[in-house]
Amino acid sequence: MRIVVLSGFHDYRTSRRASIQALTDAFVRLGHDVSFVSTRFSRLSKRTGDSRVFLWDRANRPEVVDGVTCYLWRTSVHPFAARQPLLSAVMGHVFPLFAALPNRWFDDTMRAADAVIIESSVAAIYVRRIRRLNPRTRIIYFGTDRLDTHGAHPRVQQELVAAGPLIDHFALRSPALASEFGWAADRLYLAGFGVHPPDFAGIGPSPYTRPLNGVSVGSGLFDSDFFTRVAPLFPQVDFHVIGCGTTFDAPPNVHIHPEMRFRDTLAWLKHATFGIAPYTYAVGAEYVADSSLKLAQFEYLGRPAVTAAFAAGGNPNRHGYAIGDTASMAAAVTAALAQAGKVEPRAFPTWDEVAARVLDPARYPETKIG
């Protein structure tokens, strides 16, 4: 099949890896012809710390990397979610205009696609354009997050609902997301977390210099307050923060590292005493208990985890705390330290299996939600 993956946030070539890149790799391994299209990128991106800025001079032309045809669509400006009510109202009218901007390569690629995977992001505004260009293609919405949880403009959700009948089915990372798609209840399927076992083979030696270490990877809903409160209470523990996307006044035993390639992070995860998922709360964010990549990776590697209570999800290997409550945070770290070395690694399906379910969920009736 000719498969197009469409994202409004990620590019396949960035070191920051999410489930959408893992899914793309799986499509390639399954023998499909895969393109990865990234949009919502402009001069404004240089001012917001966008992880794709290093690709500025490679934008607006296709480039094949690891068997994937990559395309970053750069425009002069792009619409965004604004806090000021007046500006937000103006932006609401800009999104449809932005979705209609001419791009011959984009249109030709969509016309040729057998399936288009739309990541939950601003990419949802292109559904009607894609269906108009290609009435026969299979349009699949890959729901990894709630749009409002990650600050998408309300117009994006409105466009998604309006175009909902044009979407063949919805592959959701968590059943907790289903309540957001009541208008598409007959087309909801579960596409959970996967692993690619070769990624975890041959992980290198420990990068740590002291015996007790907690590690956090990623920037999603990141709460630096956890480290400023907890680290001084555990001077015997080194806290490592990888790719959090911000800086903060860190205690001496908190070590902030730049963003790393996915495989480079694995030694930090495997040899950690415990993992940390320091989430701050956002509306409806409870679904991260099922969708969090970092929490799933800690389980796969047999590591206890410390996280905000809403993300613990009743999992015995996750120690939840109340956000902003120092005593609760300290208790969670103490519990994780006591459980270190006692967590049985959890098995997960491979990303190849997940990719097959995303493409054709009717073959896997057990994935139907509702």
User: Known catalytic residues?
Assistant: 145
Residue at 12: amino acid letter: Y
> How does strand 63-65 pair with strand 68-74?
antiparallel
Handedness of CA 246, 248, 252, 253 (dihedral sign): negative
Residue 22 DSSP SS3: helix
| Torsion angles phi and psi, residue 24, rounded to 5 | -60, -45
Residue 55 DSSP SS3: helix
Sheet holding 318-321, edge to edge: 254-257, 238-242, 213-217, 274-277, 305-308, 318-321
* Complete DSSP assignment for 275-341: EEE-BPP-TTGGGHHHH-HHHHHHHHTT--EEEEHHHHTT-TTEEEE-TT-HHHHHHHHHHHHHHTT
Beta pairing partners, 119: 142
**What CA–CA distance (Å, rounded) separates 169 from 162?**
15
Handedness of CA 321, 327, 333, 334 (dihedral sign): negative
Long-range contacts formed by 333-336: CB under 8 A, 24+ apart:
333/214, 333/230, 333/233, 333/234, 333/237, 333/274, 333/306, 335/304, 336/214, 336/273, 336/274, 336/304, 336/305, 336/306
Residue at 51: amino acid letter: S
DSSP assigned state of 252: T
| C-alpha closest to that of 57 among 76, 37, 74 | 74
Beta pairing partners, 115: 3, 138
> How does strand 63-65 pair with strand 138-143?
unpaired
Beta pairing partners, 241: 216, 256
